[in-house]
A and B are shown apart, each in its own frame.
Chain A
């Protein structure tokens, strides 16, 4: 039985799509057959970050409307074995998603895949609710600032009340916190909430803290999931997060202000 993971946040621009791409790639690298679905119909981004925008022929909405088969719409990732992308439609809006249609697509995918990652759009409306409705696991992406934390809290409430698991009275969705764009220097200067602050407010288990890093932007622009950048802290932090999501214990890294070494200071680095 496939596990459906929704990557959601409430607030926009916090790194949902970057995280979906990174987590999906990380899970596939562990040998699980994985598909990432872009639920952001009308503002398609996932294919850009995955670097497959030129290969999009059919999309998620085409499959829902039975204008294409799933196999026609799925894009096989060139870098990672066992990873597929189901892109969103650029020309339609979120009303094109129906609960029955999404259910049918997910059921078909579940027969073939181990993990289904749903990249949620921002907001708490239809698109976001569609993305989380069928989820078994939720990764709540949060930036360490008050409005992002508040929105994450709101989306946690929706996960609790408006998901299929909630409606059926099944075991609640497994919730995980992923803090992105973390800046230890700004936290110690008191300009940003600390990991502890965010954990205290949201009260859900933490699966990772991704440090703010130039490599994220660079990787996005090049269409490479940042998790493949094994030299970058952000990439390593995503690898840790995937391990924790799979139930492994990993110590938290990159949370402290890095003291510049003697030579770095000397060279003004």
Chain B
């Protein structure tokens, strides 16, 4: 049994950021309703932050009308912010004022295709309207379980993993191991190893004894000839630094 009644933890939540350019309530209502109709499940009960940084002037009344409008449309306002453009009523509002955060404007790195498509259409549609719906996305990597191979990967065999690949034995000459993520070989790597085959430049290759015919990360490859001048028949990792493969002893 735990001896405390609660725990405080930090957490990041995906929210919608509503950037107000001009506080024209009717236009906001029309544009926002239209947006919501396109992807209703996405906006349903979504937490919203109202961003006033790009809005020249706005009264407390106007702001509260906007908050009410958002709530009427089925979303919940969890706070507002205004960067350096603080209105005079800042202290008086009952809605919490939030500190500015680094929002990445539509840079959705690893959300499913469906969501990124939705965000994409939103962006192009909003260009002329007074409302820009931004989405702050938590960098959430969908965790692919690693593939674990316990027996040697023999000449002529090919193993591919959608996440990381862990080989607990050797990879023979003439064999090929590929992964979208990292490759770990807890034995001699004598064949070919291709990490980050879908373009992940952060992927690395680790092996207990580097004797590879070829290593590649995100399409940048190195052949055995050049490897032999580096770290050879030793524990090594291979990573991509500024589009160049770097081999380092472990």
Interface residues of A (CB under 8 A from B): 124, 150-151, 153-154, 156-158, 160-161, 172, 200-201, 203
20 more CB-based (< 8 A) A-B contacts, given A151-B155, A157-B153: A124-B156, A153-B155, A154-B156, A154-B174, A156-B152, A157-B154, A157-B155, A157-B156, A157-B157, A157-B172, A157-B175, A160-B151, A160-B154, A160-B157, A161-B157, A200-B188, A201-B172, A203-B152, A203-B169, A203-B170
> Are B151 and A154 touching (Cβ within 8 A)?
no
The minimal Cβ–Cβ distance linking A201 to chain B, given in whole angstroms, is 7
The minimal Cβ–Cβ distance linking A213 to chain B, given in whole angstroms, is 29
Q: A150 with B151: in contact, given A157-B175, A201-B172, A203-B170 (CB under 8 Å)?
A: no
Q: Which of B119-161 contact A (CB under 8 A)?
A: 151-157
> Are B152 and A154 touching (Cβ within 8 A)?
no
Report 23 cross-chain contacts, Cβ distance below 8 Å, ordered by A residue. Answer: A124-B156, A150-B155, A153-B154, A153-B155, A153-B173, A153-B174, A154-B154, A154-B155, A154-B156, A154-B174, A157-B154, A157-B156, A157-B172, A157-B175, A160-B151, A160-B157, A161-B157, A172-B151, A201-B190, A203-B152, A203-B169, A203-B170, A203-B187
Q: Which of B36-80 contact A (CB under 8 A)?
A: none
Q: How far is the CA of A153 from the CA of B155 in the complex (A)?
A: 6
- With a CB–CB cut-off of 8 A, which chain B residues contact A200? 188
The minimal Cβ–Cβ distance linking B155 to chain A, given in whole angstroms, is 4
> Are A150 and B174 touching (Cβ within 8 A)?
yes
Q: How far is the CA of A154 from the CA of B156 in the complex (A)?
A: 6
Interface string of B159-182 (1 = CB under 8 A from A): 000000000011011110000000
Q: How far is the CA of A124 from the CA of B155 in the complex (A)?
A: 12
User: Which has the most chain A C-beta neighbours within 10 Å: B152, B156, B170, B190?
Assistant: B156
Q: How far is the CA of A153 from the CA of B153 in the complex (A)?
A: 9
- With a CB–CB cut-off of 8 A, which chain A residues contact B156? 124, 154, 157-158
Q: Residue on A with the closest CB to B154?
A: A157
Number of interface residues of B (CB under 8 A): 16
- With a CB–CB cut-off of 8 A, which chain A residues contact B190? 201
Q: Residue on A with the closest CB to B191?
A: A153
Interface string of B177-203 (1 = CB under 8 A from A): 000000000011010000000000000
> Which 5 residue pairs spanning A and B have beta carbons closest together?
A157-B154, A153-B155, A154-B155, A157-B157, A154-B156
Choose from B151, B172, B187 the contact partner of A153 (Cβ within 8 Å): B172
Q: How far is the CA of A12 from the CA of B69 in the complex (A)?
A: 82
- With a CB–CB cut-off of 8 A, which chain A residues contact B169? 203
- With a CB–CB cut-off of 8 A, which chain B residues contact A150? 155, 173-174
User: Which has the most chain B C-beta neighbours within 10 Å: A157, A160, A161?
Assistant: A157
User: Which has the most chain A C-beta neighbours within 10 Å: B153, B154, B173?
Assistant: B154
- With a CB–CB cut-off of 8 A, which chain B residues contact A172? 151
- With a CB–CB cut-off of 8 A, which chain B residues contact A151? 155
Q: Residue on A with the closest CB to B151?
A: A160
User: Which has the most chain A C-beta neighbours within 10 Å: B155, B157, B173, B174?
Assistant: B155
- With a CB–CB cut-off of 8 A, which chain A residues contact B154? 153-154, 156-157, 160
Q: Residue on A with the closest CB to B172?
A: A153
- With a CB–CB cut-off of 8 A, which chain B residues contact A160? 151, 154, 157
